[in-house]
Amino acid sequence: MVASPAAVLGDAARTLSEDEVTTFVQDSLASAGLDGRSVCVIVPDATRSCPLPLLLRAVHTALAGRVTKLTVLVALGTHAAMPPAALRDHLGGEYAVLNHAWWTPETFAHLGTIGADRVNEISAGRLHQEVRVELNRAVVEHDVALVVGPVFPHEVVGFSGGNKYFFPGVAGQEVIDLSHWLGALITSADIIGTPGTTPVRALIDEAAALIPAEKLALSLVVESGTNNLHAVAFGDTVSSWQAAAAISARTHVRYLDRPVRRIVSLMPPRYQDIWTAAKGFYKVEPVVADGGEVILSAPHVTQLAAMHPEIEQIGYHCRDYFLGQWEKFRDLHWGVLAHSTHLRGAGTWDPATGEHLRVAVTLATAIPEQVVRGANLGWLDPAGMDLTAYADDPETLVIPNAGEVLHRLRAAPSRAADTPVSG
């Protein structure tokens, strides 16, 4: 059966009023056939720009008294849990809310398995192994799963949103690891901002087809760093995402005519560690000149990864560093290996001469110098940075509120046409 097209309010050229958004959400849900059913609302954590208080008020007003149960589930992926006070601020009120407790085995329901041959087909031969599909049981225990969240260019899947809120948002470790490593094999620079169904998106959609609940979405296009919305799309999780991604591609991508030697990404407080602040690199890697540098300026950040301390031991390396020594690394969490490659960018590995990286990555944070250098990154004292001098340097691009807007060259060649295989 062909899905109906999503209903869309707004476009890339303007932002919506709160009244417009509220009316659209309430009218959309009123006609969605949700009376007498239970609804699980899946939302992002605080690492995304999103006016959740406005949206959840509209959702609650539309559904209260009409549905049998309304639960909010925060799609942490493998991020840290949000404490109660932070949740109240994030959601804008008191709701029946759950953090996705990905660290607890009891969290999950087993939905099925995607076979090795199917994974091989989806991944275009990059991976050949089966994957268990596990999902937060709160989704399975409701009649309807309603995703409410933004769509941005994304380093693993192309554009975030839609079924990505299930996988990896509220998924088990195995499917998270496999999907992220598939994205790493393609490379962040090649997949980020890619429209349509990328191999990782196809894998996510395959897993989502196993979810017994009806899957709906309010997919949002947010003006980065604000609570303003360019657009809202409502429909199933595929058609809604497609509509929002098309607008995000016109809103969240900045094109440059030539590469830049140095970029200074100023990271906002929503990124509390490098695991999340690394987006300041992902979104600019495509425009950095060979031999150039990206500086992540985040004086508030004190650690590499709050929930994944093993990255300090693994360090940050290019994809080929791991593939060239696969027997050494294959038993580690592939999601952590993927994060490592995403922040280190393109490079090569030779057993005789070692690793050769296309660009330098430097952290200007509160992380101790020995930790940063031990993880194979450059270190800079944030107190000594002269942002005015950087801004005045014609070979440097300073990006405020970095992490959500993708920077690309107008005619960018693919760097990963022949992707090595692992697995």
Provide the CATH number for the domain formed by 255-409 in this structure: 3.90.226.30
User: In the structure, what pLDDT confidence band is assigned to residue 417 with cuts at 50, 70 and 90?
Assistant: very low
Could you read off the pLDDT of 139-185 as tens digits, one per residue?
999 999 999 999 999 999 999 999 999 999 999 999 999 999 999 99
Q: Which amino acid is at 306?
A: A
Lowest mean pLDDT among 101-105, 327-331, 377-381: 101-105
CA nearest to 232, candidates 148, 146, 167, 163: 148
Which part of the chain is CATH 3.90.226.30? Answer: 255-409
User: Does 7-251 carry CATH code 3.40.50.11440?
Assistant: yes
pTM for the model: 0.92
Report the sign of the C-alpha dihedral through residues 372, 283, 256, 345, in that order.
positive
- Please state, rounded to an integer, the average pLDDT across all residues of the chain: 93
Which part of the chain is CATH 3.40.50.11440? Answer: 7-251
Could you read off the pLDDT of 213-261 as tens digits, one per residue?
999 999 999 998 888 999 999 999 999 999 999 999 999 999 999 999 9
Angle between helices 18-30 and 52-63 (to 10 degrees): 40
Could you read off the pLDDT of 69-107 as tens digits, one per residue?
999 999 988 878 888 888 888 888 889 888 988 888 899
